[in-house]
Amino acid sequence: MPAAAPLEDHSIEFRLAVPEGEGYIGNPDDYVDAAGYEALQQNLAETDSDGRRGASPTSKASVEALETTEIKSELEALACAVCKDIVGVGEMVKKLPCGHGYHEDCIIPWLGSRNSCLVCRYELPTDDAEYEEERKKRATAAAAPSSSSGGIGGISGDYETQFF
Ligand SMILES: [Zn+2]
Ligand SMILES: [Zn+2]
């Protein structure tokens, strides 16, 4: 029963003790500024990542599912849109579902922070559930062409099963 009273006393004592400490009373503004500054920095960081919501990383499953082939002849050589260099004979080319190819070493880091083809903006599945919802809505609204939906649908379907 008397437990509440001592507790209250304690907190009052504590609060009284703080202003008595040197420095705190001398420059309370400095103290607030420093704390406020940190909060602001954190806020900015969070706002920043939220602002880039449109650029979600491609889901790992989709990246792993991408076809990698070796360029066997000059006819297959193509330009990598990441480094603007040619993927030549003997080099490995990573193909996105849209058919555009890149150096494996170029497109993997890119897909680690984005989910779109640099050439045609084709969007790959992401690990971001919210983003996927948005994308489905957009795809339905735009009545996407049926050409490549089979393979992609399989990948994202698989992925969703794992996710949930
Ligand atoms: Zn490249
Ligand atoms: Zn493309």
Q: Are 124 and 110 in contact (CB under 8 A)?
A: no
Distance linking the first and last C-alpha atoms of the chain:
49
Rounded Cα gap, residues 43 and 40, in angstroms = 5
pLDDT at 132: 87
Span from the CA of 147 to the centroid of ligand 1 (angstroms): 27
In this structure, are residues 62 and 127 in contact, taking their beta carbons and an 8 Å threshold?
no
pLDDT tens string 50-78: 444 557 899 999 999 999 999 999 999 99
Residues lining ion ligand 2 (Cβ < 5 A) are: 98, 100, 117, 119-120, 122
**Predicted TM-score (pTM) of this structure:** 0.52
Domain assignment present for 137: yes
Q: What span, in angstroms and rounded, lies between the C-alpha atoms of 93 and 105? A: 9
Specify the number of domains making up the chain.
1
Residue 133 maps to a domain = yes
Give me the CATH number covering residue 71. 3.30.40.10
Q: Which domain holds residue 76?
A: 60-143
What's the chain's length in residues? Answer: 164
Considering the domain boundaries, does residue 32 fall inside one?
no
